[in-house]
Structure 1
Amino acid sequence: MAKCSSICPKVLLLLLVFFTPFQLSFFHGKSSEFDLEDEAWLEEKDDEVNMVQSGHDSLGSSCEFSDGKWVYDLSYPLYDSSCPYLSTPVTCQKNGRPDSDYEKWRWKPHGCSIPRFDALHFLGRMRRKRIMLVGDSIMRNQWESLVCLVQGVIPTGRKTVTYDGPSMTFHALDFETSIEFCWAPFLVELKKGPQNKRILHLDLIEENAKYWRGVDVLVYDSAHWWTHSDKWSSWDYYMEGNTVLRSMNPMVAYQKGLTTWAKWVDLNLDPHKTRVIFRSVSPRHNRQNGWKCYNQKQPLEFFSHQLHVPEQMVVLKGVLKGMRFPVYLQDITMMSALRKDGHPSVYTRAMDQEQKQHPRDFTSDCSHWCLPGVPDAWNEMLSALLQV
């Protein structure tokens, strides 16, 4: 990696004098379309599929949820792609995907079971509570899954979605329950500076964190955007205090950003009032040698290559261990790495008959997930964790 280097003093002075607190608008709240803000992933070449062995962090459960296998279950899926809260790029069946077996796999941990998602039971436990999912588009993928899992038991007219800045909220009115998504792919602040340069502030978080106050259950993710590079990078400079840097080891930057988040959680949240869960990195299947997700129809049964712990997980675990606040690390990486069949691939848009004859001509999304699909299992796990 290139060594960190400071911008010349004149540029630094300009930044300090003329810097404006304009927040980059990466999330267009009222659009029903799925913002593929990291569409660059679709053409990135991964060195390998990200995987990680689960740690032993626990909310009191004796079950190691992340250690198990996918079981074919004809009683799944728990909803279909007609759910009105799904965005177009994840409705793979509507977009013409010819197979549907990817919807029928249930995650079964070894030695225990994750209860089938019960919408009424979940809403009953979340009565008069706010649950917020915070992060990037993969977290929005999970939010859409959770909303579709619960919305079917709520009468028409007793459910609604509202928008507030970077947040969107599903309201179950009779339960006084809200399920929210808050756009914050770095957790810390990304702002515009002079000449529209994008500045990633490693030590600022309040502009995002103000939306997290008063929430009963907070579920976070932040990993993928930190590893964007070159033309796909989402920032031009890092800034920490009064120091502006053009480059930095991305895992050093990630550690600094997560430490800012951890300090905010430790100082501002009460563990007697708020549950905090950090979801591990969602794996990508972009490798050319057999890992591309196009036309994949079965989960992997096992891994044929050596397990690899992604750097993001090493950094995340280190930060969590240093916190006073009890944060549960929900490990979905290993289970999801088996599901190369679960991505939208070329089915992120509806195709006409001519286009269907040449599907390989389209960019393949091997990062996000078809719904119904893999994120439903994450939410079944989440529901089980919240029962403890």
Structure 2
Amino acid sequence: MKPHSVELPLGRSHAQPKTPKIFLLIIFGTLALLTIIPVFYPLLGYPLYLLKHSSSKPSSTYDSQEPDASISISESETCDIFTGEWVPNPDAPYYTNTTCRGIHEHQNCMKYGRPDTEFMKWKWKPDGCELPVFNPAQFLEIVRGKSLAFVGDSVGRNQMESLICLLSRVEYPVDVSYTPDDNFKRWKYTTYNFTIAYFWTTYLVKSKQREVNGPTQTGLFNLYLDEFDEKWTTQIEEFDYLIISGGHWFSRSLVFYENHQIVGCHFCLVENVTDLTKFYGYRKAFRTAFRAINSLENFKGITFLRTFAPSHFENGWWNHGGNCVRTKPFTSNETALDGDNFELYMIQMEEFRTAEREGRKKGKRYRLMDITQAALLRPDGHPSKYGHWPHENMTLFSDCLHWCMPGPIDTWNDFLLQMLKKEGAKSHQ
């Protein structure tokens, strides 16, 4: 696979100046005053953990002796695979940075000297059932003749590359991209006639950089909250599966437009413009993205919302020494989804339910891939300072937002496979 363009996690690269920068969830201390703490939400119907806490072949072939992922996860159909704990798994990982050539450089933690390896040796154990280990041969059989698109930012790309690495035990895809732009890539598994695509969109809606620096020195962006981002909305009708996600970019300074007029902003410091906070933009962006999907008459695929994945900065803001140095997962009683993370998650859930209800009238299908608790419990899974060589001529902060590969993000694709198996069972019935 060709190397992908590098989106620096937290800073500016002098070596690759054309690479898009990424801003992290955590912003300057002064923005903490703008944090909205939710007072009340009706939790009925939400995950249990919220109630608790209010084509070339690879060099190595797939080992058929791995655990049989065709086994049903549970005799009970009521098991919530997204609520559980991380438990030790000495058999992991199932690929390495030397066996998979598709790992993004800034997530290649072992290459860049991460000294501990225990973070790779855990598996997700849902409450009341088992989640099978990812079976690449089974996955490729399920998606034979189909296509899957990832729509989102660099965390979405992180999951896509995890999937490519998990599948590399069976086959590598060939690049069939229609453009040289690395933000819009397509790969094909020729043996299985299966296509994966990636569509880069930081805000899900139409956007444009307004100023290079902005109040937080990370750019000021115009978001046109009622306008589709046609770079992806015009491309997805042919796909069988769509995984949509987004979140961390909304902490940048933003100016909100609706009906071609400025309606407010998030920490833009523009005179006579009301600060509506990032949550306003986040809700409207997802609403518009779902409206775009529901408006596509020829889109017959399944839309998966991959929920928000919290970052894990400790001991300071991202640009004031914050880091993520833990080497073990949290247990579910050691932390809780709260503050901004809770607000963003609940916005996603509410807009998803509305879109699902409206989409059903038009024959659209929506599914929830709720990775939030599993991600929340893994402060040990980020690159930290192991996303580049210490001596490189770069200005980088610790990356506590993206995920090492191999690592916890591989479990997101365990979820994906189980959900596809469930879809197959529905079709059979």
**Would you say 1:33 and 2:50 are equivalent positions?**
no
**Would you say 1:385 and 2:419 are equivalent positions?**
yes
Correspondence for 2:375: 336
Query: In the TM superposition, what whole-angstrom CA distance separates every residue of 1:331-369 from its partner, at most 9, and x where no partner exists?
Result: 1111111111110000010235xx9xxxxx962111111
SS at structure 2 position matched to 1:278: strand
Aligned 8 A contact 1:42 1:363 in 2: no
Q: Are residues 276 and 362 of structure 1, via their aligned partners in 2, closer, same or farther at CA, if it must alter by over 3 Å?
A: closer
- In the aligned structure 2, how far is the partner of 1:265 from the partner of 1:290? 36
Correspondence for 1:24: none
**Would you say 1:242 and 2:260 are equivalent positions?**
yes
Give the alignment of 1:150-161 within 5 angstroms: 150-154=167-171, 159-160=174-175
Correspondence for 1:313: 345
Q: Are residues 197 and 303 of structure 1, via their aligned partners in 2, closer, same or farther at CA, if it must alter by over 3 Å?
A: closer
Once the two structures are aligned, what percentage of the paired residues are identical?
28
Correspondence for 1:14: none
Q: Tell me how far 1:246 sits from its aligned partner.
A: 5.2
Correspondence for 1:119: 136
Select which of 68, 73, 79 maps to 2:95: 79
The aligned amino acid for 2:83 is D
- In the aligned structure 2, how far is the partner of 1:348 from the partner of 1:134? 24
Q: Tell me how far 1:84 sits from its aligned partner.
A: 1.1
Correspondence for 1:5: none
Q: Are residues 299 and 38 of structure 1, via their aligned partners in 2, closer, same or farther at CA, if it must alter by over 3 Å?
A: farther
Give the alignment of 1:123-142 within 5 angstroms: 123-142=140-159
Aligned 8 A contact 1:193 1:199 in 2: yes
Q: Are residues 163 and 79 of structure 1, via their aligned partners in 2, closer, same or farther at CA, if it must alter by over 3 Å?
A: farther
Query: In the TM superposition, what whole-angstrom CA distance separates every residue of 1:298-342 from its partner, at most 9, and x where no partner exists?
Result: 111234455426212222222222222242221111111111111
SS at structure 2 position matched to 1:71: strand
Higher relative contact order (CA 8 A, sep 6+): 1
SS at structure 1 position matched to 2:227: coil
Query: In the TM superposition, what whole-angstrom CA distance separates every residue of 1:6-60 from its partner, at most 9, and x where no partner exists?
Result: xxxxxxxxxxxxxxxxxxxxxxx97453453454328746979x9x998259xx9
Q: Are residues 43 and 224 of structure 1, via their aligned partners in 2, closer, same or farther at CA, if it must alter by over 3 Å?
A: closer
SS at structure 1 position matched to 2:411: helix
Aligned 8 A contact 2:22 2:249 in 1: no
- In the aligned structure 2, how far is the partner of 1:167 from the partner of 1:317? 27
Q: Are residues 252 and 260 of structure 1, via their aligned partners in 2, closer, same or farther at CA, if it must alter by over 3 Å?
A: same
User: How many residues are matched?
Assistant: 340
Q: Tell me how far 1:137 sits from its aligned partner.
A: 0.8
Larger fraction in helix: 1
- In the aligned structure 1, how far is the partner of 2:170 from the partner of 2:177? 19
Correspondence for 1:200: 223
Aligned 8 A contact 1:348 1:365 in 2: yes
Q: Tell me how far 1:191 sits from its aligned partner.
A: 2.9
- In the aligned structure 2, how far is the partner of 1:305 from the partner of 1:122? 33
**Would you say 1:279 and 2:306 are equivalent positions?**
yes
SS at structure 2 position matched to 1:321: helix
Query: In the TM superposition, what whole-angstrom CA distance separates every residue of 1:197-252 from its partner, at most 9, and x where no partner exists?
Result: 84311111133311222110000102221222xxxx3x4x3221121245233222
Q: Tell me how far 1:270 sits from its aligned partner.
A: 6.2
**Would you say 1:94 and 2:121 are equivalent positions?**
no
Q: Are residues 34 and 87 of structure 1, via their aligned partners in 2, closer, same or farther at CA, if it must alter by over 3 Å?
A: farther
Aligned 8 A contact 1:342 1:369 in 2: yes
Correspondence for 1:178: 195
- Is 280-289 or 238-247 further displaced after alignment? 238-247
